[in-house]
Amino acid sequence: MSAAPSPSPSSASSDDYYRLTVPLLLTVALVGVFAFIQVYSVQSILPELQRDLNATVVEIGNAVGMTVLAVALISPFIGMLSDALGRKWLITVSVFALAVPTALMTQVQSVHGLLILRFLQGLAVPGVSVVAIAYIGEEFRGAAMVRLVTGYVTGSVLGGFLGRFLMGHLTEFMAWRTAFGAMTVINLVGAWLVWRGLPPSRHFVANVRIADNLASLGRLLRNPSLQVACALGFTVLFALVGLFTFVNLHLAAAPYHFSPGDLANIFTVYLLGVVITPLAGQVIPRVGSRNTVLAAVAISAAGVLVSLAASVWVIVIGLAVTACGVFVTQSATMSFIAHRVTSGRSLASGLYYGAYYCGGFVGAWGCGVAYTLGGWPGTVATLFVVQVLGWLIAWRFMPGPPPQPLGTGEPPRS
């Protein structure tokens, strides 16, 4: 794919403004939706899957874990592939590819077959999530880029919610295998909408210098700031996946006996991310990434403990508090990477997401073991210990903002 000539700043600005239309904003938001609509969709029907497939707690937890493991394994490398081969086509093909294993789930007969198909779903996700950010950064500047990134993040949060919500409520009216068929149709429609609505790349320049990419990879792996961000990200998704996976088994059991639709409704707390993420973007530059992370992780850990309550409403409040803490921690950590990593940012983001989703896989497996041995209290204890570990990582290894001369009035930035 060849690159279009770089326009002058003035012409780029006017052209970007012309291209930033409501349909384009909606298309970018849909890219975010379809990047994540399948990743966690099974969470609201885990009790159904466990019963019908005769699975253990650990095996059914891995129905979530295998997808995030696949995302973790491929995220660091998908950016290099896209740098060499292009943007829009890879996004569109990846959205379409998500539909293939989803369709095959209508025929699955064993938990092992389900795990394989869930892994294949995860392999397609970074082709959307990682490449979409690179596409926006290349094609837009200034306020246009900010609005599109915000639209994409909002779509991502909405997609994570819709996957759980739709699967839960569809399973109220049809068999879960049929519900996967409905999700396949939704994915195919999404691929068509993205193909039709996303403008072709004009500023993409292919980079096939593999040696340079590998050298950059080596430098980033030795970067202390990226190391601490990756360690923190590991603990963040460990807690989120562990909590929102096994709370479904907890609430489906006595004395609650939640149906798939009831469990789907629990995930409306995810919509708080639509509000919290923009607010975090205003707070982080003022108080610094380190202080934000310390406060957010402490809040998230408190929410985990609140979920031990007997009242459903108090449990939901605990889930909401934890989710908010995670959203803020994620925003602050990404801000920290942006300020501390000055070269190879796309690859750095891929490495961070690799560690982040590895945490999700280990969280699904580790909390499955904890739930098997100690029920919901054992799971909460495991989650709390990991949250404390994340707080200690940030406190000990995450540098604060550099000291500012008196009277400068400069806000902290790291």
Domain shared by 270 and 371, yes or no: yes
Contacts (Cβ under 8 Å, ≥6 apart) of 27: 193, 194, 197, 198
Domain shared by 138 and 179, yes or no: yes
Q: Is the pTM of this model over 0.75?
A: yes
Query: Is residue 126 one of the residues assigned to a domain?
Result: yes
Domain shared by 240 and 388, yes or no: yes
Q: Which of 161, 186, 211 is the last residue of a domain?
A: 211
> Could you tell me the residue range of the domain that residue 116 belongs to?
9-211
Query: Is residue 407 one of the residues assigned to a domain?
Result: no
Domain shared by 22 and 166, yes or no: yes
Domain shared by 203 and 232, yes or no: no
Give the sign of the dihedral formed by CA 292, CA 294, CA 297, CA 298: negative
222-261 burial, b at 16+ Cβ within 10 Å, e below that, comes to: ebebbbbbbbbbbbbbbbbbbbbbbbbbbbbeeeeebbbe
Q: Which of 211, 237, 255 is the last residue of a domain?
A: 211
Domain shared by 46 and 191, yes or no: yes
Q: Which of 180, 243, 226 is nearest to 387 (CA)?
A: 243
Residue-wise pLDDT tens for the chain (414 aa)?
434 444 444 344 444 433 567 788 889 889 999 999 999 999 999 999 999 999 999 999 999 999 999 999 998 888 777 777 778 888 999 999 999 999 999 999 999 999 999 999 999 999 988 888 778 777 877 777 767 877 887 888 889 999 999 999 999 999 999 999 999 999 999 999 999 988 887 876 666 666 777 787 788 888 898 899 999 999 999 999 999 999 999 999 999 999 999 999 999 998 887 788 777 777 888 888 899 999 999 999 999 999 999 999 999 999 999 998 988 888 888 778 877 876 666 677 778 888 999 999 999 999 999 999 999 999 999 999 999 999 999 999 998 765 544 444 443 444
Domain shared by 152 and 289, yes or no: no
Domain shared by 232 and 204, yes or no: no
Alpha helices in 37-87 (DSSP H): 46-52, 57-85
Q: Which of 188, 211, 234 is the last residue of a domain?
A: 211
Question: What CATH number has the domain bearing residue 17?
Answer: 1.20.1250.20
- Say which DSSP state 399 is in: -
Domain shared by 103 and 180, yes or no: yes
Query: Is residue 125 one of the residues assigned to a domain?
Result: yes
Cα gap 4→80, rounded to integer Å: 20
Number of domains in the chain: 2
Query: Is residue 406 one of the residues assigned to a domain?
Result: no
Domain shared by 350 and 283, yes or no: yes
Helix/strand/coil (H/E/C) assignment for every residue in 136-178: HHHHCCHHHHHHHHHHHHHHHHHHHHHHHHHHHHHHHHCCHHH
Domain shared by 175 and 262, yes or no: no
